[in-house]
Amino acid sequence: MQKRRLGQSTLEVSVIGLGGNNFGGRIDFDAAERVVHRAIELGINLIDTADSYGNRGGSEEALGRILGQKRKQIVLATKFGMPMDDSGKLGGASRAYVMQAAEASLKRLKTEWIDLYQLHQPDPRTLIEETLRALDDLVRQGKVRFIGCSNLPARQLDEAHAVARRQRLAAFVSAQDEYSLLVRDVERELIPALKAHGMGLLPYFPLASGLLTGKYRRAAALPAGSRLAKNAGLASRFINERNWRVAEELTALADRRGHSMLGLAFGWLLREPTVASVIAGATSPEQIEQNVRAASWLSADDLAEIDRITLER
């Protein structure tokens, strides 16, 4: 498994990572354990989760039980900031909440440190300096090694780095944002900002919630139990005429080139130097094996054809 450096940090992460959003929710503990152990066997060392995954805490708790002595082999990433209760009191990025959330994640994960602690979403009620000062304290205390962010627009990234530089605080080393063959918005402003600040990109939804796996067909019912079948919001967002056209043309290209759709989707993301690792969820060891095999490289002709298909309006 090839590894890449995550931004300007000292973290070396596998080019295929494991997303923990299925743990504690979509799959039970035994299934999660099989997935994690197989991922480690195949050389995946980046596991990404969040305190909100698995019905608020379930994913972190599962990983804490599963990893055990293998914890030291893993670059363990988690996030904070999403609502953790129905009242709205637990969430956001205030200093008080950051410190509370970090302690809760450490306890659930059964670890003394978090390798990458990420702000899950912007908090309009809290100045970024307050958040960064709290995160800097966690770094100084040895509870967090590096910090990252998710879903921040480029202008807020610029502001965060300016504050960190001015106040000599720990700065974000990575951003986790949606990026796929169907959603390329980050190329306009975010990726240039990441390059300017020496940050790495961790794409989420690399398969557009499954639309790029080839298991969905335009004229067929959504497969029972699939993510889009179970989540009407995601289905309404991703399933449209433009995306069907793009997915069908990409499938035809993959077939002509002898690639799988997974190989096409992951290989295309990894052609971008800013991308450190493609985070992909899995519900079975077999799916992990497919993800690992998919980290293939594409030719210049392939990339030109992909641009024609995905950028055509």
Contact, 200 vs 276, CB < 8 A? yes
Return d(Cα 76, Cα 47) in angstroms, integer: 5
CA–CA separation, 89 vs 216, rounded Å?
Answer: 39
**In the structure encoding, which two tokens stand for residue 101, read together?**
């959330």
C-alpha to C-alpha distance for 141 and 235, rounded to whole angstroms: 43
Which residue reads 């967002």 in tokens? Answer: 237
Is 53 one of the annotated active-site residues of the chain? yes
Segments in the chain forming alpha helices (H) = 29-41, 53-67, 95-109, 128-140, 154-167, 190-197, 227-230, 232-238, 241-257, 261-270, 285-293, 300-311
Q: Give the residue numbers marked as catalytic.
A: 53
